[in-house]
Amino acid sequence: MALNLIKLCVGAESVEDLEDWIALRLEEKRRAGVVVEHFHTTRMVPKRADELLDGGSLYWVIKGGVQCRQRLVDIRPFTDAEGIGRCHLVFDPTVVRTQWQPRRPFQGWRYLVPADTPTDLGGADAGEELPLNLRRELSELGLL
């Protein structure tokens, strides 16, 4: 079973905000004539890359809770211009909404085992149509 990552989505106010930011960055890359791909740069290189690339995703924490994920496509370690080792976590640009799951703030990324991952919201999920604050309250009460 695939291993996942979890990370705070700093600066995003909502899933829609993240989706808009991704679309903007991809369009900027198209116009600049560079490779059009979505990635996040991090200092630490995951040691369990093979497990992550076997169907894993990065789960984004937005405003105190996991709300969505993006599938990991590649992990590319590199050394920046200042000689510091870094890593590009390359994602499928599609954002998949998940059940809201509360999370406290933390730094960097963490591994997230499948047993602890929130489920995806599907088209048949009635809770998907509810406003976030109502979904959050119902989830906290164990009703979603």
pTM: 0.83
Please tell me which residue, 142 or 14, carries the higher pLDDT value.
Answer: 14
CB 48 within 8 A of CB 4: no
End-to-end Cα separation, the chain, in angstroms: 25
| Mean pLDDT taken over the chain | 89
pLDDT in tens, 51-89: 999 999 999 999 999 999 999 999 999 999 999 999 999
Cα separation of 49 and 42, whole Å?
14
Say what the pLDDT of residue 116 is.
93
Measured between alpha carbons, how far is residue 122 from residues 94, 97, 126, 127 in Å?
14, 8, 9, 9
**H or E stretch including 38?**
strand 38-42
Say what the pLDDT of residue 2 is.
85
Query: What is the share, in percent, of the chain residues with pLDDT greater than 70?
Result: 85
Buried b (16+ CB within 10 A) or exposed e, 52-83: bbeebbbbbbbeebbbbbbbbeebeeeeeeee
Q: What is the mean pLDDT of residues 90-119?
A: 93
Asked if residue 127 has pLDDT above 70, the reply is no
CB 88 within 8 A of CB 78: yes
Phi and psi angles of residue 67, each rounded to the nearest 5 degrees, phi first:
-125, -20
Measured between alpha carbons, how far is residue 42 from residues 39, 46, 63, 84 in Å?
10, 10, 21, 11
